C-alpha cells in the first residue's frame, strides 16, 4: 500500500456505488473508492492506497451522517465498529438494508450495460431489471451452503480481511447455513478449510482430507457431484436458475431436434432445465473431467442428452458448424465467455442464446460483443443469490438483431 501523501483521514460525501462492493466519493477532483459506505452518507475515511494518479482507495472509519438504509451489520466481525484491518471480508453489503442492497446492485448492472456493454440508453432502460429477492431469510443470513476459510500460522481459522490475505479469526458465520457454523473450529491445520452442506449433511475438509461425492436435489431430480465441485452456494439458487432459464427460453424458438448446447455445463443442471420433461436434444460441454462424468450420469435418464468433456473454446473450434434452430445455453465463469467464444457462438447462428452470468461487468462486456456480431438482448432477469455481498446472478436471452 502506498502512503497517503501526508493525508490520513478525509471527510467524504459518498456519491454512488461502484462494481466490487465499494462506493465512490471525490476529493479535490480525484475519485476515492471507499469501502463500508452507502451513497448519500458523509463518512470519515482513511486512505489506504494513494499510488494511483486517478484514484485513491479508502476505508470508512466513522459514519458522520448515516443513510436511512444503514443497519447494524449482520456480521459483527465485518462491522465498521472494528478497525478496518480487523474486518472480516465477504460481507461487504452487510451494513445495508436488503432492499437497498438490491437497488445498488441494479445500479451497477445498469451502469455496466451502458458503460462497458455500450448498449444504447433506450435498450438499457428496456432491459435493466430490478434485482429480485429469492427465498430465504429477509436479512440474507444463512444463505451459503459452501464456505472457504483460511488458517493463519497459529492455526486460527477465519476469512481473509477485505482486500487482504490477512486471516481474521471468527467465532460465528451468520451468512452460512447453521450446520456449517456448528462445524467452525477455533484452530485447524493446513492453509484452508472448506465447509460444505448438502443433502442434510455437513462436513469440514482440509486440503489433504478425503472429499466425498455428494448429492443435491433440485425439484424431482438428483445431481451427484464432487463435494468441492462447482455448485451454487445459495440453497435456493439451483431451483431459481432452473426456473429462470426455462422462463428465458422462448418455446417458439426451441427446436427439440436441433443441435442445442449447454456450454460450461458443470454437472448438468441447466441441460436438465432445458431437456427435462420436453425430450429435447442437448449436448452439455464441460472441461472438468469429474464434473463431466457426473453430468453424464445425472442426465442418463434423458435419452437425447449427452455430456462432452472439453474446453468450450476447443469444442466450438472443432465443431465449426451452423446450428439453425438451436438454443445455446452458457454459464461461463466469473470472467465471462470472452470474445473468442462469443464469436464462435454468434457464427453458428442459433435461434436463441441464453446467457447465465454471475458478474455484471463480464456480462455487459460479452453482450456488447454479441451486439457487435448482430445479436441483441431480448430479456434480462437478475436475482439476489449472494445477499450481503455485491454479487448478483443474471439471465439474459439474446436473439438475432432484426
Roughly what angle, to the nearest 10 degrees, separates helices 339-347 and 360-372?
A: 40
Annotation: binding site? 232, 264, 286, 331
As a whole number of Å, the end-to-end CA separation of the chain is: 51
Assess contact for 379 and 248: CB atoms under 8 A.
Answer: yes
CA–CA gap between residue 351 and residue 204 (Å, rounded):
45
Residue 238, by phi and psi: left (phi above 0), alpha (psi -120 to 50) or beta? alpha
Q: For residue 203, what are the contacts with CB-CB under 8 A and spacing of at least 6?
A: 183, 195, 196, 212, 227
d(CA 262, CA 280): 12
Query: Alpha helices, DSSP H only, in 158-276?
Result: 178-183, 237-248, 269-275
> Rounded CA gap, 72 and 86, in Å?
17
Query: What is the spatial order of strands in the sheet that 23-27 belongs to?
Result: 9-13, 42-49, 55-65, 30-35, 23-27, 16-17
Catalytic residue status for 358: yes
Alpha carbons 26 and 40: distance in angstroms, whole number: 13
Known binding-site residues for S-adenosyl-L-methionine equal 232, 264, 286, 331
Between CA 171 and CA 157 the distance in angstroms is 9
Locate 219 and state its grid cell: 425439484
Output phi, psi for 361, to 5 deg. Answer: -70, -45
Closest CA to 356 of 334, 371, 376: 334
Query: Which one of 353, 358, 371, 377 is the catalytic residue?
Result: 358
123 membership: H or E segment, kind and range = helix 121-127
> Which residues does residue 343 pair with via DSSP β-bridges, in sequence order?
none
Count CB atoms within 10 A of the CB of residue 166. 15
Annotated catalytic residues are 358
Amino acid at each position: 500500500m502506498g502512503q497517503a501523501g501526508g493525508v490520513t483521514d478525509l471527510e467524504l460525501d459518498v456519491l454512488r456505488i461502484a462494481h466490487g462492493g465499494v462506493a465512490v466519493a471525490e476529493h479535490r477532483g480525484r475519485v476515492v473508492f471507499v469501502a463500508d459506505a452507502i451513497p448519500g452518507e458523509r463518512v470519515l475515511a482513511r486512505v489506504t492506497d494513494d499510488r494511483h494518479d486517478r484514484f485513491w482507495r479508502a476505508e470508512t472509519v466513522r459514519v458522520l451522517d448515516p443513510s436511512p438504509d444503514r443497519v447494524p451489520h449482520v456480521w459483527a466481525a465485518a462491522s465498521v465498529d472494528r478497525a478496518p484491518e480487523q474486518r472480516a471480508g465477504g460481507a461487504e453489503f452487510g451494513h445495508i438494508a436488503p432492499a437497498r442492497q438490491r437497488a445498488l446492485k441494479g445500479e451497477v448492472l445498469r451502469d455496466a450495460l451502458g458503460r462497458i456493454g455500450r448498449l444504447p440508453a433506450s435498450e438499457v432502460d428496456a432491459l435493466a431489471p430490478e434485482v429480485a429477492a429469492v427465498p430465504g431469510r429477509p436479512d440474507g443470513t444463512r444463505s451459503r451452503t459452501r464456505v472457504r476459510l483460511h488458517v493463519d500460522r497459529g492455526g486460527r481459522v477465519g476469512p481473509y480481511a477485505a482486500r487482504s490475505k490477512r486471516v481474521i479469526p471468527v467465532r460465528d458465520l451468520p451468512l452460512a447455513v447453521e450446520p456449517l457454523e456448528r462445524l467452525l473450529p477455533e484452530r485447524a491445520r493446513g492453509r484452508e478449510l472448506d465447509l460444505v452442506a448438502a443433502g442434510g449433511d455437513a462436513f469440514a475438509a482440509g486440503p489433504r482430507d478425503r472429499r466425498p461425492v455428494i448429492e443435491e436435489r433440485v425439484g424431482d431430480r438428483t445431481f451427484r457431484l464432487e463435494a468441492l465441485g462447482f455448485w451454487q452456494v445459495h440453497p435456493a439458487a439451483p431451483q431459481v436458475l432452473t426456473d429462470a432459464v426455462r422462463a428465458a427460453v422462448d418455446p417458439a424458438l426451441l427446436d427439440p431436434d436441433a443441435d442445442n448446447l449447454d456450454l460450461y455445463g458443470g454437472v448438468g443442471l441447466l441441460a436438465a432445465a432445458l431437456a427435462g420433461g420436453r425430450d429435447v436434444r442437448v449436448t452439455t460441454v464441460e472441461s472438468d473431467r469429474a464434473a463431466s462424468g457426473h453430468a453424464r450420469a445425472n442426465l442418463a435418464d434423458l435419452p437425447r442428452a449427452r455430456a462432452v468433456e472439453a474446453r468450450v473454446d476447443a469444442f466450438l473450434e472443432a465443431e465449426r458448424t451452423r446450428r439453425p434452430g438451436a438454443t445455446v445455453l452458457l454459464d461461463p465463469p466469473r470472467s465471462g465467455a470472452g470474445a473468442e467464444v462469443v464469436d464462435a457462438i454468434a457464427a453458428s447462428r442459433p435461434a436463441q442464446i441464453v446467457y447465465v452470468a454471475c458478474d455484471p461487468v463480464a456480462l455487459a462486456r460479452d453482450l456488447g460483443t454479441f451486439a457487435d456480431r448482430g445479436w441483441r438482448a431480448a430479456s434480462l432477469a437478475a436475482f439476489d443469490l449472494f445477499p450481503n455481498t455485491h454479487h448478483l446472478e443474471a439471465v439474459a436471452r439474446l436473439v438475432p438483431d432484426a
